[in-house]
């Protein structure tokens, strides 16, 4: 049955609003995981906390502890501190089970984690509850205020439409247009799902113009455009310290381990932005030339006057209004202040406060509080993740576990740096295939990288930063991230399509981070080089 006979207009942007897309149904295996996740988490917690004896915890070297762990040891005494480590391992493992199986909503799991950490004495209630007021949490909240400004004033939509119309004359121009659009939006919108929601109606209409309306009418242009956008949304976020909650968390964990106030926006940008651009361009070549090569007829619009529909959508927005100009001024000012943080010394959170205050200011501002879309469930999830991180810091568990694991694997102090680098970056990427949250992935692997660096006598940045630069590689399978799940419902590609493209780009990304460690990160003074 054709689109017309179904009464469906593939060029109507309103048809691609998120609430109109089909919901992704869980597979039978996923439903079983959800059903048994709760009891399994309870069982794991009881076994690790009360039943199983763990030699590497009972025999841990208490004299080598420093920082928060040493202070907690002084407060609890040796026996109490070891029990706190058992509790931390139990809470951590149970939380991972709940988060992976989605037996409970992520925010509810986080609330349980915070409560359990307090009740088991892993850290003090003051430290546990204070994570909701962590500077990075404030930066997340304020970023949503600023992102809402761009959405409410429709600056983001206007920019995307104008750019596609101006430069998207053919298939190559369209894809390159979305590369630029994604990178620009990533500099300011820290929610990858929000970026996907803004761009999805636009690129779906473009897909239809090029003959891809989904289902039986898939083509390689549609596969490329949607999967390239998914890749660009995630890698664009990796390009900036403020690109996502996961990059902010990674920067915060590294800064804490180094004993500095905050991670520099400039330091992240100099290393991560060029790598993201290189990978996005490689993805364009891999997608359009290798995995899903475009046929001749797919390189040009197939619906006569299709671009006129996008122009009509842009024209319907009318001339730019005063609030749009003010939003752009605030947007550019905040970006400039973020990008020059080393010169003026004002941290990212304070800059975001300034931007949000101006944006919300009566008469001067462009958005009201009721217009602000803050996903509190995500923030509560983040608060639980930060509390878990505080517990890991207070017990020193990552370092203890890393020592035990490396000892069992035969990895000793003589193991060369390049082997540790390859192992940690490879593990970070492969883990993205099973995790459903890059925040959770960050919480696990950044402390491990920090612990390895400290235990082997390397600077924290030399191993933790390369791992942090890989937190956005959550695009291989539809359940790996919220944008992946959202874009899969467009019906423009299959599971095998996203796996072929995604696993190829994941392997290439590993090769690129190895190259980066030998070149760019070495030139910037973060690594000693791999070989």
pLDDT tens digit sequence for 417-426? 999 999 999 9
Highest-scoring range by mean pLDDT, 4-13, 275-284, 304-313: 275-284
Q: How confident is the model at residue 15 (pLDDT cuts 50, 70, 90)?
A: low
Find the helix or strand (DSSP H, E) in which 192 lies.
helix 192-209
Q: In sequence order, which ranges of 239-366 are alpha helices (DSSP H)?
A: 245-258, 265-285, 306-316, 322-339, 341-344, 348-360
| Crossing angle of helices 192-209 and 171-186, rounded to 10° | 170
Is residue 182 pLDDT above 80, yes or no? yes
40 compared with 388, residue with greater pLDDT: 40
Query: What per-residue confidence (pLDDT) applies to 1?
Result: 43
* Out of 24-28, 46-50, 247-251, 350-354, least confident range: 24-28
Is residue 12 pLDDT above 90, yes or no? no
Average pLDDT estimate for 269-295: 94
Longest dimension (CA), the chain: 76
Q: How confident is the model at residue 4 (pLDDT cuts 50, 70, 90)?
A: very low
pLDDT tens digit sequence for 505-531? 999 999 999 999 999 999 999 999 887
Is residue 20 pLDDT above 80, yes or no? no
**Closest-CA residue to 519 (of 274, 334, 299, 335):** 274
Q: How confident is the model at residue 467 (pLDDT cuts 50, 70, 90)?
A: very high
Query: What per-residue confidence (pLDDT) applies to 229?
Result: 92
Average pLDDT estimate for 75-99: 92
Q: How confident is the model at residue 264 (pLDDT cuts 50, 70, 90)?
A: confident
Q: How confident is the model at residue 242 (pLDDT cuts 50, 70, 90)?
A: confident
Average pLDDT estimate for 352-375: 86
Is residue 305 pLDDT above 70, yes or no? no
Average pLDDT estimate for 127-142: 84
Average pLDDT estimate for 471-493: 87
Query: What per-residue confidence (pLDDT) applies to 261?
Result: 67
Is residue 45 pLDDT above 80, yes or no? yes
**Residue 509 tokens, joined:** 């990304």
Average pLDDT, the chain: 86
Is residue 112 pLDDT above 90, yes or no? yes
Q: Contact 246/438 with Cβ under 8 angstroms?
A: yes
**Residue 285 tokens, joined:** 């070549």
Is residue 408 pLDDT above 90, yes or no? no
Q: How confident is the model at residue 348 (pLDDT cuts 50, 70, 90)?
A: confident
Average pLDDT estimate for 56-76: 87
Q: Contact 244/237 with Cβ under 8 angstroms?
A: yes
In total, the chain counts a number of residues equal to: 531
Percent of the chain at pLDDT > 70 equals 94
Residue partners of 350: CB distance under 8 A and separation at least 6: none
222 compared with 531, residue with greater pLDDT: 222
At residue 471's C-alpha, the angle toward residues 467 and 472, to 5°, is 145
């Amino acid at each position: 049955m054709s689109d017309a006979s179904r009464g469906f207009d593939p060029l109507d942007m309103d048809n691609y609003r998120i609430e109109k897309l089909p919901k992704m149904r869980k597979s039978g295996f996923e439903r079983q995981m959800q059903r048994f996740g709760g009891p399994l988490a309870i069982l794991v917690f009881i076994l690790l906390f009360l039943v199983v004896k763990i030699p590497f915890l009972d025999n841990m070297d208490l004299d080598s502890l420093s920082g928060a762990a040493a202070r907690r040891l002084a407060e609890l005494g040796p026996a109490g501190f070891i029990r706190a480590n058992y509790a931390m391992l139990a809470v951590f493992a149970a939380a991972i089970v709940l988060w992976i199986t989605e037996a409970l909503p992520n925010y509810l799991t986080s609330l349980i984690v915070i409560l359990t950490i307090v009740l088991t004495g892993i850290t003090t209630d003051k430290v546990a509850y204070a994570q909701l007021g962590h500077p990075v949490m404030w930066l997340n909240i304020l970023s949503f205020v600023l992102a809402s400004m761009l959405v409410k004033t429709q600056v983001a939509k206007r920019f995307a439409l104008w750019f596609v119309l101006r430069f998207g004359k053919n298939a190559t121009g369209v894809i390159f247009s979305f590369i630029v659009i994604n990178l620009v939006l990533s500099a300011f919108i820290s929610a990858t799902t929000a970026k996907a929601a803004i761009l999805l109606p636009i690129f779906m209409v473009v897909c239809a113009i090029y003959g891809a309306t989904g289902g039986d009418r898939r083509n390689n242009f549609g596969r490329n455009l949607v999967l390239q956008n998914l890749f660009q949304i995630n890698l664009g976020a990796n390009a900036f310290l403020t690109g996502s909650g996961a990059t902010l968390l990674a920067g915060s964990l590294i800064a804490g381990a180094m004993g500095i106030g905050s991670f520099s926006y400039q330091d992240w940008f100099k290393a991560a932005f060029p790598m993201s651009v290189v990978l996005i361009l490689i993805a364009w070549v891999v997608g359009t030339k290798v995995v899903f090569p475009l046929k001749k007829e797919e390189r040009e619009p197939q619906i006569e006057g299709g671009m006129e529909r996008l122009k009509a959508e842009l024209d319907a927005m009318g001339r730019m209004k005063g609030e749009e100009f003010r939003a752009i001024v605030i947007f550019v000012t905040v970006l400039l202040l973020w990008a020059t943080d080393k010169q003026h010394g004002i941290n990212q959170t304070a800059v975001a406060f300034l931007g949000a205050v101006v944006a919300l200011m009566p008469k001067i501002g462009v958005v009201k509080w009721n217009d602000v879309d803050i996903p509190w469930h995500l923030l509560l999830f983040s608060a639980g993740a930060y509390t878990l991180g505080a517990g890991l810091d207070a017990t020193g568990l990552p370092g203890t576990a890393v020592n035990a694991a490396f000892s069992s694997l035969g990895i000793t102090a003589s193991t060369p740096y390049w082997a540790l680098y390859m192992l940690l970056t490879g593990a970070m990427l492969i883990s993205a295939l099973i995790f459903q949250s890059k925040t959770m992935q960050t919480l696990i692997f950044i402390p491990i990288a920090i612990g390895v660096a400290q235990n082997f006598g390397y600077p924290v940045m030399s191993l933790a930063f390369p791992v942090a630069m890989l937190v956005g590689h959550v695009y291989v399978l539809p359940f790996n991230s919220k944008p992946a799940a959202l874009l899969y419902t467009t019906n423009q590609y299959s599971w095998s399509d996203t796996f072929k493209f995604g696993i190829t780009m994941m392997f290439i990304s590993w090769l690129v981070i190895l190259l980066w460690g030998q070149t760019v990160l070495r030139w910037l003074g973060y690594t000693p080089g791999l070989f």
